[in-house]
Structures are given as C-alpha cells and as structure tokens.
Amino acid sequence: MQDFFLQNGELILRLFVALILGSIIGAERALVHKEAGMKTHALVCVGAALFMIISEIMSQKYAGFSNFDPLRMASQIIVGIGFLGAGSIIFQGSRLTGLTTAGGLWVTAGIGMASGSGLLGIAIVCTVLVMFVFLFFNLLENPIRRLSEKEENEEKK
C-alpha cells in the first residue's frame, strides 16, 4: 500500500488540490444558501481532475496509436458539466435562477481539469479569481439590485 502512495504521490496531490479548491468555491455558495454547495463543487472539481489524470495516463499508454485522441475525454467533461449546469437553471415565475450556480460549476470543472493536468498554479489562481467574483461582485450587485427594485416599485405606482 505504501508503494501505491509513493508511486502515485503527484496524482494524489492533484486530486487533493482539486478537492480543496472545489470545496473553497462550494463553501461560498453554501454561505449564500445556494443548492450547489461544498459537496457538489468538490465532487465536480475532483471528478474533472480524475478524468484529466485518466486522459493523461491513457495518452501515454496509447502514444503509438494514430486514431487515439486523449483530448476527447476533456471535451466530454465540458459537455457533461453543461448538462449538470443546465439542470440547475430554473424558471421561477418570470424569474430565471441558477445561472451563477451553472457558471460556478462550469468553472469549477475547469479548475479540476487544470488540477488533474498538473497545472496546480493556474488552478489556484483561477480559484482566487472565482472567489473574487463571488465575493466582491456580490458587494457590487446588492446596491444595484436594490436601486433597480426601487425603480420597478416606483414604476408600478
């Protein structure tokens, strides 16, 4: 068992980094009471990392085959996350909700793909940028929304 961890230390690190980064994004989503929270974002990120690791290993294993394209797996991650994201978008009356959740899942998958590919630095930078968007932009949007709602209420009168 010890040999497994020694031989696969870098791959395990990639998965662990994906877990941490996905959890960070999911924690913010949970704090603002969104349906897709820590578990969802962590699983999306780790899953995407795992698929990238598998893709990398398969590309090494089948390097001599001319019809083998390891990037197909990466492209299918994007398709699968698009399906997951589409399921989180809901119409409630005349209001559309879930777009930020869908976008968050999409970028979290990208962070997982970067982690799984060994691009840990860019995965961390992207996580910081996502957290900046979620936290800072929320501070900007709230006053704008209040102003917009105030104008809508005045127009109804």
In a domain, 135, yes or no: no
Domain that residue 7 falls in: 2-129
Given this model, what pLDDT does residue 18 score? 96
Nearest to 48 by CA among 25, 69, 79, 27: 79
In a domain, 143, yes or no: no
Given this model, what pLDDT does residue 16 score? 95
Given this model, what pLDDT does residue 52 score? 92
Domain count, the chain: 1
Whether 156 shows a pLDDT value over 80: the answer reads: no
In a domain, 150, yes or no: no
Per-residue pLDDT reduced to its tens digit, 17-53: 999 999 999 999 999 888 888 999 999 999 999 999 9
In a domain, 6, yes or no: yes
Per-residue pLDDT reduced to its tens digit, 73-89: 888 888 888 888 888 88
In a domain, 61, yes or no: yes
pTM: 0.80
In a domain, 151, yes or no: no
Share of the chain above pLDDT 90, in %: 41
In a domain, 152, yes or no: no
Share of the chain above pLDDT 70, in %: 99
In a domain, 35, yes or no: yes
CA dist., res. 60 & res. 136, Å (int): 42
Whether 155 shows a pLDDT value over 90: the answer reads: no
